[in-house]
Structure 1
Amino acid sequence: MNDCSASCRRAPHIAFFSGDITRSGGTERVATWLAGALAEAFDASRSSQGVRGAARTRISIVSLFEERAAPAFPIDARIRRFTLYPAVSHGIWRYFATVRRLVTLVRQQHIDVLIDIDGILDMYALPVKRLAGVQVISWEHFNCLTNPGVPYRKLTRRWAARRADAIVTLTGTDRALYERRFTPRCPVAAIANPMPVVTPTPVYDDSSRLILSAGRLTRQKGFDLLVDVAARVLPKHSDWRWVILGEGEERALLERRIADADLDGRLILAGRTDDMDGWMRRAALFVLTSRYEGLPMVLLEAKAYRVPIVAFDCPTGPSDIVADNVNGRLIAGLSVPAMADAMEPLTDDDALRRRFSQHAQDGAERFDESMILTQWMSLLHDVAAYGDKEREG
C-alpha cells in the first residue's frame, strides 16, 4: 500500500480573486489562461507521479460578482467559480460585509492561496490573510505610478508591500519601481503576460489599408488623443480607414469628437467583437494611444499576428514589446503631432511596413507561454514553502 502521508495529504487550493471574471478585459483574459494552464500542469504532474490516491491541487476563481451569464474568455472545465454576491454589487460601504463573505468562502473551501488579479482587491484579501491564514499574491496589472479610477489604490500597494506573501509585476521596470518606492517585505517577481499562440500562422498583407486599435473606451486608453492623430493622418490618405474595437463610458464623447473632426465613416467605433483574429489578420498597422499601461495584451496580440505597431511610449509596457524602428514606432510624451508624423512613412511605404512585420516577433521568447507558466509554478512553490515554514513555526 502506498504511504498515505505522501499520497493522501490535502493538496493546496489556489484561487484567483477577481472583481468580475466575466469581463472582457486583458486582466480577465490572462487570468483565465493562467488558471487553466495551472490546472493542466498540476494534473499532468500528478499523473506522472503515478501515486494512487494522490491529492489533486484545486484551482478556482472567486469574483465579487458576475455581471454576465457567460465569461468573455473560456474557462477550463476543471475550474470552479464562486461569487461573493449573487448580483452586481458596488460600493465601499459594503467593505466589511465583503471581507466577511470572503473569510467564510476561504474557510469553507479550504483556500490556501488567493491570487488577487487586480491589486485593488488586496483591500479585501489582506484582512482575510490575517483572519483565515490564507496566503495572498498581489498581481499588479497596471504600474505602481498610476492609480486608475480608485485613489486609495496607492494605499493598498503600501499595504501589500508590508503584508502580502508576494507581489507580481508585469515588467522589470515596474518591479524596480515597487522596490524603490515601497521597500516590500515580500518577494517581488516580474512575470510578463504571455503572447498568444496564433494558428494558422498569420501572413501579413502589405496591401491592407486598415489601421486597427482596440481597448475599453476609457480615458486610460487615450482614444481622445487617437481622434486628434486620425484628424492629421486620414485626410491625407483617402484609401485608408481606422477602426477602434471596444466599448466603454467614453463612446458618446468619442462619437462627438469624430463628427467634429469630419471623420465619420473613416474613423469607426466598431464596438466589441468576437472576431479579433479576423481583424488582426486584416490589419496593416496597430496603434496604441494609452496614457498608461501595465503590459498591454493588445500589443502582444498585434505582435503575435506580425502587425507593425505604433504606440505612445507610456509607462509601462510598450517598450518591452516594441523595438523602435525595428518592428514599430515608439512615440515619447503622448505627442499627437509626433505620432502623426511617425505614421506618415508607414502609410506611404508598403515595403517599410513589410520589413517591420518581418521583425514583429523579435524578442517574442520573453512572452512564451511555457516559460511564463514555469515562472508562476516556481513562485507558487516558493510561497507554499514559506507558508509551511510559518505554520510550523
Structure 2
Amino acid sequence: MTGRQIFFVANEVNELGGVGRWQTQMARLLAERGHRVTIIGVSPPQMPMNLGENPPFETLTLYERRPPAHHRPRPLLGRFDPAVREQEADRRAAAERLSRIFRAARPGAVIIVTQVWAMEWVARADTAGHPVIGISHESFEASRASSRFERVLTYYRNVDRLLVLTQEDADLWVGEGLNNVGFMPNPLPLTPGTPSPRTEKAVACIGRLSHDKGVDLLLDVWAQAAPRQPGWILRIHGAGEKETELRQQCAELNLDDSVEWAGQTDDVTEALRRSSVCVQSSRREGFPLVLLEAMACGVPCVAFDCSPGVREIVRDGEDGLLARHGSTSELARHLVRLMSDEKLRDTLGTRARENVRRFAPDVITRRWEELFDFLER
C-alpha cells in the first residue's frame, strides 16, 4: 500500500478532551500504516494535551494567539470598519497559508476537518484536487442545541463527505437536506492486556468537570446510592471549570467520606483497573471514549442514554446498564444493582470486553482507508 498524505485541520493541535484524544490516536494509527500525517491547528491550545515523545506526525499552528470572534461592523462603517478589515486580512492570510500547504501536497492527499470552526478557514483555502472530509463529533441533538448547528449546515454542505458518529445521527442530518453524510465510529482508544479484577469497591467517573459532563447530577445520584452500599467510593478523575462548585456540592450533600477527587489522570487504564464499575452522567455526548475504555478493561458501565453514540456502544442489559436521560433515580438504582451483585458485574464486564472489539483500531482504520479510496475514484 502506498501511503497517502493526510491533513487533519482542527481548532487546536493538542486540545485537551475527547476530540483531541481521538485526533491524536487517528493520526498515530494512520501514520503507523504508512501515511504521512500532519495536524494543523487554527489556534494554540487553551488547555494543552501531551502528544507524547516523538509523535509520528507533523504539527503546525496558523495563529500565535487565538483569533477573535467575528467582529460585527459598527453602524455606518459596515465593511469599511477598520477592525473588520483587519480581521478579514488576518483570515485571508491564514487561509492562504493553508492553500500553499494543500497545493504542495502530492496526489491522493486527503483533508480531514475535525471541527466545524476550523472549517471556516478551510472553506477559504484552495483545496482543489483533494477530497475534504468534515466531521461532527457530537450527536445531532447536541449540535442542534448549539451555535454549531447552523455552521455545520453552512460549512459542511459542500464537503465531499460529512462524517458523524452513528447511523442514527447521519439520518437526522440527511433530514436537514445534507446529501453527503456518512458515519464513522471512534476507534477503541486502548487495548489493555489484562482486565480489571473488579474487586475494589470503587466506581470510576472519568471526564472533564464541566456542565455537559453532568458531574453535579452524578453527585445527586451518589447521594441516593452510597447509603445503600456502605464501603463503596466514587472516584472522580478530571479537572475543569466546575471543580470548586462541585466540591462544595459534595460537602453540602455530606458525601466527602465516600467521594475521592482524584484529579486529571494520564493513565486511564490504571484508573479503570482500580474500579469495578464506570459511571457516566453526561447531559450531552457524541461517541464517548471513556465508555469504550472501560469496556476494554472489563469494567461494566452505567450511563445516561443521552445520545445515539452511548446506546451504540453500551447494549443495555447485555454489557452495561442505561438509564433514561436525566433520571437520577434510575441511574442510582442501576449503580446499586451493580455494586450489590458481584456476579452481574463479572457477567456484564466480561461481555463488555468482548463486544467492544467491534471498534478495534485496525477495524476502524481500514474503514477510513476504504473511504479514502472511494473518494479518490
Instruction: Return the TM-score normalized by structure 2.
Output: 0.87
1:30 to 22, 43, 46: 22
Q: Counterpart in 2 of 1:121? A: 118
Deviations 1:303-361 (A, max 9, x none): 10010100000113111111212221110131001111122221112122111112113
Alpha-carbon spacing, 1:15–1:209, altered in 2? closer, same or farther (3 Å):
same
SS at match of 1:219: coil
Quick check: 1:13 aligned with 2:5?
Answer: yes
2:171 to 152, 155, 176: 176
Alpha-carbon spacing, 1:68–1:292, altered in 2? closer, same or farther (3 Å):
closer
SS at match of 2:358: helix
Deviations 1:60-85 (A, max 9, x none): 01012333897424376441111011
The one-letter code matched in structure 2 to 1:58 is R
2:139 to 136, 139, 143: 143
Partner Cα separation in structure 2 for residue 201 and residue 17 of structure 1: 35
Partner Cα separation in structure 2 for residue 134 and residue 201 of structure 1: 42
SS at match of 2:321: strand
1:374 deviates by: 1.1
Say if 1:95 and 1:124, in contact at 8 Å, map to a contact too. Answer: no
The farther-off stretch of 67-76 and 360-369 is: 67-76
Partner Cα separation in structure 1 for residue 90 and residue 131 of structure 2: 20
Say if 1:122 and 1:156, in contact at 8 Å, map to a contact too. Answer: no
2:247 to 239, 244, 255: 255
SS at match of 1:128: coil
Q: Counterpart in 1 of 2:291? A: 299
Partner Cα separation in structure 2 for residue 75 and residue 167 of structure 1: 32
1:218 deviates by: 1.3
Quick check: 1:228 aligned with 2:223?
Answer: no
1:272 deviates by: 0.8
Quick check: 1:201 aligned with 2:197?
Answer: no
Quick check: 1:242 aligned with 2:234?
Answer: yes
Say if 1:21 and 1:63, in contact at 8 Å, map to a contact too. Answer: yes
Q: Counterpart in 1 of 2:36? A: 58
Quick check: 1:166 aligned with 2:161?
Answer: yes
Q: Counterpart in 1 of 2:45? A: 67
1:86 to 39, 64, 70: 64
Q: Counterpart in 2 of 1:286? A: 278
SS at match of 1:352: helix
Say if 2:192 and 2:297, in contact at 8 Å, map to a contact too. Answer: no
Instruction: Return the TM-score normalized by structure 1.
Output: 0.83
Unmatched tracts of structure 1, length 5 or more: 1-6, 44-56, 386-393
2:322 to 301, 317, 330: 330
Alpha-carbon spacing, 1:326–1:12, altered in 2? closer, same or farther (3 Å):
closer
Partner Cα separation in structure 1 for residue 298 and residue 198 of structure 2: 11
Deviations 1:24-67 (A, max 9, x none): 312111211211222222x2xxxxxxxxxxxxx53201012333
Partner Cα separation in structure 2 for residue 169 and residue 381 of structure 1: 19
Q: Counterpart in 2 of 1:377? A: 369
Alpha-carbon spacing, 1:108–1:372, altered in 2? closer, same or farther (3 Å):
closer
Q: Counterpart in 1 of 2:256? A: 264
Residue identity over aligned pairs, in percent, reads 29
The one-letter code matched in structure 2 to 1:268 is E
Alpha-carbon spacing, 1:92–1:137, altered in 2? closer, same or farther (3 Å):
same
Deviations 1:140-194 (A, max 9, x none): 1102222399x4311121124521111111111111111122x2242x2211111
Say if 1:163 and 1:185, in contact at 8 Å, map to a contact too. Answer: no
Partner Cα separation in structure 2 for residue 75 and residue 34 of structure 1: 16
The one-letter code matched in structure 2 to 1:212 is A
The one-letter code matched in structure 2 to 1:172 is Q
SS at match of 1:220: coil
Say if 1:114 and 1:125, in contact at 8 Å, map to a contact too. Answer: no
Say if 2:300 and 2:348, in contact at 8 Å, map to a contact too. Answer: yes
Q: Counterpart in 1 of 2:358? A: 366
**Number of corresponding residues:** 357
Partner Cα separation in structure 1 for residue 279 and residue 47 of structure 2: 32
Say if 1:32 and 1:75, in contact at 8 Å, map to a contact too. Answer: no
Partner Cα separation in structure 2 for residue 361 and residue 298 of structure 1: 13
Deviations 1:116-138 (A, max 9, x none): 112332222223257x6654211
Say if 1:229 and 1:340, in contact at 8 Å, map to a contact too. Answer: yes
Say if 2:16 and 2:47, in contact at 8 Å, map to a contact too. Answer: no
Alpha-carbon spacing, 1:199–1:146, altered in 2? closer, same or farther (3 Å):
closer
Q: Counterpart in 2 of 1:389? A: none
Alpha-carbon spacing, 1:69–1:319, altered in 2? closer, same or farther (3 Å):
closer
Q: Counterpart in 2 of 1:314? A: 306
Partner Cα separation in structure 2 for residue 330 and residue 99 of structure 1: 47
1:265 deviates by: 3.6
The one-letter code matched in structure 2 to 1:225 is L
Root-mean-square deviation (CA), in Å?
Answer: 2.5
Alpha-carbon spacing, 1:68–1:337, altered in 2? closer, same or farther (3 Å):
closer
Alpha-carbon spacing, 1:106–1:39, altered in 2? closer, same or farther (3 Å):
farther
Q: Counterpart in 2 of 1:344? A: 336
